[in-house]
Amino acid sequence: MVPTVNGAPRKPLDDTEVLERLPSRAGDASSRELAAMRAAMTSAAGNPAPAAELAQRYFDLAMARGDPRYVGYAEAVVARFPDPLPASLRLIRGLLRQYRHDFEGALGDFAAALAQDPGLAAAHAWRGAIYLVQADYPAAQGECDALRRLGRSTLVGACLGLVQAYGGQLETGNRTLQQALANTTDPGSRLWLLTRLGEVAAWRGQAEQAERHYREALATGVEDGYLLAAWGDFLLDSGRPAEVLKQLAGWEASDSLLLRLAEAEAALKLPGAARLAKMLDDRFAAARQRGDTTHRAEEARYQLRLRGDAWYALRLAAENYKVQREPRDARILLEAAIAAGDPAAAQAARDWLGKSGFEDARLRRLGQESALAVRR
Amino acid sequence: MKLRRWLFSILLLLSLPVLAHKASDSYLVLDIKGREVSGQWDIALRDIDFALGLDRDGNGEITWGELSARHGDIAAWALGSLSVRRGGDCKLEVADHLVDSHTDGAYAVLRLAGSCPAGGGDLQLDYRLLFDLDALHRGLLRLGLDGTTQTAVLSPQRAQQKFAAGEVSRLEQFGQYLVEGIWHIWIGFDHILFLLSLLLPAVLVHEARRWRGVADFHQALVEVLWVVTAFTVAHSITLSLAALGLISLPSRLVESAIAASVVLAAANNLKPLVEHRRWMVAFGFGLIHGFGFASVLAELGLPQETLVMSLLGFNLGVEIGQLAIVAAFLPVAYALRATLFYRRVVFVGGSLATLTIALIWFVERAFDLKLISA
């Protein structure tokens, strides 16, 4: 990463040589809009409303394009205002903190924002999402209830459906999400619900149903990294790596999708697999250099499945599980522990399986296999 | 705000840690010798465009022409957000403008040159590039200060940092890895057992299918020196190759091979195949053990920029730990060499015990079982 080690600085000879392509043209609609919003923020010094709008816009862009620079832009906008922040900016700061996995800080911001503005449904939705990641389902349920009191029916369905699914009631969760889907026409909401329905169906072992949901989600035409990752995982789990390559072609810029591409190439024993693995390696190295620890779950998967280093994968997965405890986090922890011959290290994931009653057959099998190994 | 946005937002939280591309980093290399400053600063074109606007014709592409037209502005902007102090403000200038590419795109490369008021003492750095626009921006600094290399991540929270001059920090880092090396050989029973298996016969000679004690200390010492040196040279080679990222092997393979090496070394004592050239065995298997040391080093997280120094420290630590074992072992073994106790209990019994333990390790590691260890 350090320029004098790897780099070869040069001086181009031709003035017309294109060095870089920007993510958006200066003249296109979104950058015109962003420029106008920035100008509005600058001219309204001290007024938080345009700043909150711009920061939210940056954050949405970061998510849609999978580009963390926009997160930094949003954070810089929020940082222009001194504490105590107004509710709107406080909410966004919480959102940015959860992005960095500072869940405690984020919960503090959401609580403070709600104290200032009890009708802030978004703060409840985000808190629910954080509690879900932390596997604190009673607390998440509390947020769903709060959303219900605020009358946000689609949000309630999304929130509740996941609490049920993660908490050991896949079928009920499925129904709740289906109901929410039937009641909304918004493409973004539909995409989200269909994606989660696909995951739920896959956990229930209903591969055809899952595929129908994913395909319907893809048909909304909204580009979405999470959907593509979930669909890619489904295809990999179903032994269909060739389709992953087709579906995710050209998405190397996203680390999550690059991981799926690399796994697919490796499964097909294609010569390009090594190149993709090297790219991933570079990305993880770059993140480490910044002191960034938010991708440990993905790095664990990379180490386990592509490098075959189960022990290192286990260390990463265990570190990750201290912070994030979603089904996929439990899965990589169990897989790495079994592969490393250290099933005791996955006790936390087995505890979660036991306590939540999560019903995915694959995870339950991994849990049992590792539990047996511990007893032996 | 619309409902969709909230929903979209939840989706994102639950989604994978989307990082795609990469957050913004600049790479700042400064080399300061006395008063004289030289260095290089790589800043992403995207970042410069966001701060200053480079895409003059608005076609979404940045050409060398567009970039070079703004070299003056870029130099002023960059140098205006960096101050280096050694006995006062150091005067910096951009000596040359180049370009380079990193994993996430094209970068402007600013070659820096300058001088400081004082030729010694601590160095203070204040870095503010892009922080007002991008709070996730980081400056990744590699600083050479009078020949010692240090690294730091510059962030809005740690924008001002002070670096001590002189040997202290380099020595400290070196010492830290040295201690880690010693510690590792002491807790790494597989390495100790391997070494002991090769050393046990050093005070004996095998003649007419019987073992007897060597005639003089010199003979034993020479044998030990050969074995230890060969082991050291071999594992230094692979440790360095692995730590520098030139070779990498899956840890399961390495750990299994290490266990196998202990098995073979112990077995060779019980039924000698290799008698006179034990140093060759030490060398061959030492290559494998080096990979084992490397995985420990990887766990410690070797600082990329002081790689060689830390590697040297770690390696030296391993040698010191090893020599301590030899120093404790050799006089005792030499004193006892002629006794039946040494030949039967220590040599045969010890080798048998070692063989058993190493066999269990091997089976555990190669077949992923848990037999003895918890």
What's the structural domain count of chain B?
2
Of B49, B109, B295, the CB nearest to A3: B109
Element (H or E) spanning B148, and its range?
A: strand B148-154
How far out from the chain centre does Cα B3 lie? 50
Residue B248 lies in a domain: yes
Residue B337 lies in a domain: yes
pLDDT surpassing 80 at residue B295: no
Considering just the CA atoms, what is the radius of gyration of chain A in Å? 22
Give the minimum alpha-carbon distance from A242 to chain B in angstroms, rounded to a whole number.
22
Residue A250: per-residue pLDDT:
80
CB contact under 8 A, B21 and A282: no
pLDDT surpassing 70 at residue B306: no
Residue B169: per-residue pLDDT:
60
Task: Examine the fold and report which residue of B103, B130, B165 is the final residue of a domain before the chain moves on.
Answer: B165
Of A22, A60, A312, the CB nearest to B251: A312
CB contact under 8 A, A9 and B132: no
Task: Examine the fold and report which residue of B111, B134, B165 is the final residue of a domain before the chain moves on.
Answer: B165
Closest listed residue to residue A248, CA positions, set A271, A267, A229: A229
CA distance A311 to A339: 8
Same domain, B134 and B181: no
Residue B4 lies in a domain: no
Write out residues 316-345 of B within 8 Å (CB-CB) of A: none
Q: What is the pLDDT of residues A56-111, one digit of tens each?
A: 999 888 776 667 788 899 999 999 898 889 999 999 999 999 988 899 999 999 99
CB proximity B27 to A under 8 Å: yes
Residue pair B44/B26 in contact (Cβ under 8 Å)? The answer is yes
Among A354-363, B166-175, B288-297, B363-372, the range with the most confident prediction by mean pLDDT is A354-363
- Please name the residue of chain A whose CA is at the shortest distance from the CA of residue B59: A25
Residues 6 or more apart whose CB falls under 8 angstroms from that of B292 comprise B188, B190, B191, B254, B255, B258
Residue B118 lies in a domain: yes
Residue B374 lies in a domain: no
The size of the A-B interface in CB pairs under 8 A is: 286
From chain A, pick out residues whose CB is under 8 angstroms from the CB of B161. none
Same domain, B234 and B134: no
Of B11, B14, B98, the CB nearest to A133: B14
Residues 6 or more apart whose CB falls under 8 angstroms from that of B72 comprise none
CB contact under 8 A, A26 and B55: yes
Same domain, B174 and B142: no
Average pLDDT of the residues of chain B: 82
Residues 6 or more apart whose CB falls under 8 angstroms from that of B334 comprise B203, B217, B220
In the three-class reduction of DSSP (H, G, I as helix; E, B as strand; rest coil), residue A213 is classed as helix
Residue A247: per-residue pLDDT:
93
From chain A, pick out residues whose CB is under 8 angstroms from the CB of B99. 9-12, 19
How far out from the chain centre does Cα B27 lie? 20
Element (H or E) spanning B178, and its range?
A: helix B167-187
Strands B105-115 and B36-44, by their bridges, are antiparallel
Element (H or E) spanning A173, and its range?
A: helix A170-182
Of B5, B59, B135, the CB nearest to A79: B135
Residue B11 lies in a domain: no
Same domain, B80 and B208: no
Closest listed residue to residue B20, CA positions, set A349, A157, A356, A255: A255
pLDDT surpassing 50 at residue B62: yes
Closest listed residue to residue B305, CA positions, set B176, B173, B183, B179: B173
CB contact under 8 A, B105 and A20: yes
Q: What is the pLDDT of residues B333-360, one digit of tens each?
A: 888 888 888 888 888 888 998 899 889 8
Same domain, B331 and B188: yes
Residue B333: per-residue pLDDT:
87
Residue B1 lies in a domain: no
Same domain, B206 and B99: no
Residue pair A204/A171 in contact (Cβ under 8 Å)? The answer is yes
Q: What angle do CA B142, B24, A326 make, to 5 degrees?
A: 110
CB proximity B52 to A under 8 Å: no
CB proximity B63 to A under 8 Å: yes
Residue A376: per-residue pLDDT:
65
Closest listed residue to residue A300, CA positions, set A287, A313, A284: A313
pLDDT surpassing 80 at residue A34: yes
- Please name the residue of chain B whose CA is at the shortest distance from the CA of residue A338: B368
CB contact under 8 A, A225 and B99: no
On whether ipTM exceeds 0.90, the answer is: no
Same domain, B205 and B232: yes
Mean pLDDT of B290-308: 71
Q: What is the pLDDT of residues A211-239, one digit of tens each?
A: 999 999 999 887 788 899 999 999 999 99
- Please name the residue of chain B whose CA is at the shortest distance from the CA of residue A127: B10
Of A67, A76, A129, the CB nearest to B14: A129
Which residues face B84 on adjacent strands? B125
B269 versus A332: the higher-pLDDT residue is A332
Q: What is the pLDDT of residues B209-228, one digit of tens each?
A: 777 778 788 888 888 888 88
CB contact under 8 A, A11 and B59: no
Going by pLDDT thresholds of 50, 70 and 90, the confidence category of residue B9 is: very low
Same domain, B146 and B213: no
Task: Examine the fold and report which residue of B165, B194, B216 is the final residue of a domain before the chain moves on.
Answer: B165
- Please name the residue of chain B whose CA is at the shortest distance from the CA of residue A287: B22
Same domain, B52 and B112: yes
CB proximity B49 to A under 8 Å: yes
Same domain, B200 and B244: yes
Same domain, B46 and B126: yes
Residues 6 or more apart whose CB falls under 8 angstroms from that of B198 comprise B227, B231, B265, B278, B281, B282
Write out residues 210-269 of B within 8 Å (CB-CB) of A: 248, 250-252
CB contact under 8 A, A22 and B27: no
From chain B, pick out residues whose CB is under 8 angstroms from the CB of A63. 8-9, 12, 15, 18
Write out residues 133-172 of B within 8 Å (CB-CB) of A: 133-138, 140, 142, 153, 156
Residue B369: per-residue pLDDT:
67
Residue B1: per-residue pLDDT:
32
CB proximity B61 to A under 8 Å: yes
CB contact under 8 A, B5 and A253: no
Domain hosting residue B333, numbered range: 170-367
pLDDT surpassing 60 at residue B8: no
**What is the DSSP code (8-state) at residue A82?**
P
Residue A354: per-residue pLDDT:
94
Residue B342 lies in a domain: yes
CB contact under 8 A, A69 and B136: yes
Q: What angle do CA B9, B13, B16 make, to 5 degrees?
A: 125
Same domain, B160 and B240: no
